[in-house]
């Protein structure tokens, strides 16, 4: 049974969430502001609709990515994907290898250590959710790993755009950097959208290409942990994103179609980040623990630095 304090907080949280959603939709708030509002709700009020918003967020993000495909040229998408292919292999190997060493050094549980490494290497919470089924992680191991990823994703949204301007990165360089060095697709898109449209296109393409690595990594994980492989859900939304991009490249769509679709996609990204912010609570932060958090931070810093050096030299 909920305590009086919890019931009181829920009564306040419900209208606040409604006001935030109205503001995001009608005032077209940026992704960073939407995330900040979500963090405020999650930390100080809590999200009484978490049972509904968590699954909604997944489909909202997928729909937004598909919509974004109608604003992309497929030939440019292929070129952007080529730029990040080789380093994708290198960065995934680096994250997993470094994660193993740090996990041993910091004495982090084997499964938590592996999930944090996979989340950093590929696409954050989505990769953790997929691989956790294969390694048979329990709820605590999954929540700790995803909690670390969410916290670092929130930091990335505020840190990366100013850092990109300070370093003088081009649109394409910044998009590639985001796709490699930021965990979740939603945060990659949020940071890149704040930087510019070309950065957004590059970041989305490279990140979605990285997301496909969930499948071979999940199979590899079943071998490493000697678990019987279960069926891993294929990310079909990536296929629909490619179809939308192909259609936009080889067919001429009127602006009265593409403009509202792209507008809705960007709004969906802002709503996604707002809901992600509401998942971070004082309890989830406390649950993470210092040693797993340090492991996640050290891996992240290494990927940020190595990917930046790679981008600046190419």
- The pTM for the full model equals 0.71
Evaluate if residue 199 carries a pLDDT over 80: yes
Dihedral, CA atoms, 154, 125, 240, 264, nearest 10 degrees? -30
Closest C-alpha among 180, 168, 112 to residue 145: 112
**Confidence band for 3, pLDDT divided at 50, 70 and 90:** very low
229-251 in b/e burial notation, b at 16+ Cβ within 10 A?
eeebeebebbebbbebbeebeee
Dump pLDDT digits (tens) for 123-173: 787 778 778 767 877 767 877 887 788 889 888 988 999 999 999 999 989
Q: Tell me the two tokens of residue 222.
A: 């079943």
Dump pLDDT digits (tens) for 90-121: 888 889 999 999 999 999 988 999 999 998 98
Domain residues for the domain of 256 are: 4-313
**Confidence band for 5, pLDDT divided at 50, 70 and 90:** very low
Q: How many domains does the chain have?
A: 1
Least confident of 193-202, 253-262, 279-288, 289-298: 279-288
Evaluate if residue 265 carries a pLDDT over 50: yes
Could you write out the DSSP letters of every residue in the chain?
---HHHHHHHHHHHHHHHHHHHHHHHTT--HHHHHHHHHHIIIII--TTHHHHHHHHHHHHHHHHHHHGGG--HHHHHHHHHHHHHHHHHHHHHHHHHHHHHHHHHT--HHHHHHHHHHHHTTTHHHHHHHHHHHT--HHHHHHHHHHHHHHHHHHHHHHHHHHHHHT--HHHHHHHHHHH-SSHHHHHHHHHHH-HHHHHHHHHHHHHHHTTHHHHHHHHHHHTT-PPPPPPP-HHHHHHHHHHHHHHHS---HHHHHHHHHHHHHHHHHHHHHHHHT--HHHHHHH-HHHHHHHHHHHHHHHHHHHHHHHH-
């Amino acid at each position: 049974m909920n305590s009086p304090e919890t019931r009181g907080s829920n009564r306040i949280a419900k209208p606040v969430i409604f006001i935030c959603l109205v503001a995001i939709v009608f005032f077209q708030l940026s992704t960073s502001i939407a995330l900040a509002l979500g963090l405020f709700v999650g930390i100080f009020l809590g999200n009484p609709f978490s049972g509904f918003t968590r699954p909604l967020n997944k489909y909202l993000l997928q729909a937004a990515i598909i919509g974004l495909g109608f604003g992309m040229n497929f030939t440019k998408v292929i070129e952007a994907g080529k730029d990040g292919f080789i380093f994708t292999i290198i960065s995934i190997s680096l994250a997993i290898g470094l994660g193993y060493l740090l996990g041993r050094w910091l004495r982090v549980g084997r499964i938590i250590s592996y999930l944090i490494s996979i989340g950093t290497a590929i696409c954050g919470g989505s990769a953790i959710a997929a691989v956790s089924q294969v390694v048979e992680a329990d709820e605590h191991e999954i929540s700790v790993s995803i909690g670390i990823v969410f916290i670092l994703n929130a930091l990335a949204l505020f840190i990366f755009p100013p850092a990109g301007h300070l370093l003088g990165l081009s649109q394409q360089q910044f998009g590639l950097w985001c796709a490699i060095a930021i965990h979740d697709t939603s945060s990659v898109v949020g940071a890149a959208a704040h930087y510019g449209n070309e950065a957004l296109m590059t970041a989305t393409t490279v990140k979605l290409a990285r997301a496909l690595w969930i499948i071979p990594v999940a199979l590899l994980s079943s071998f490493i942990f000697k678990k019987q492989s279960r069926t891993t859900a294929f990310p079909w939304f990536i296929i629909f994103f490619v179809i939308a991009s192909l259609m936009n490249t080889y067919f001429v769509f009127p602006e009265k179609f593409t403009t509202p679709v792209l507008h809705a996609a960007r709004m969906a990204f802002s709503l996604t980040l707002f809901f992600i912010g509401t998942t971070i609570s004082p309890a989830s932060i406390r649950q993470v623990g210092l040693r797993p958090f340090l492991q996640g931070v050290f891996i992240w810093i290494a990927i940020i630095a190595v990917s930046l050096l790679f981008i600046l030299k190419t």
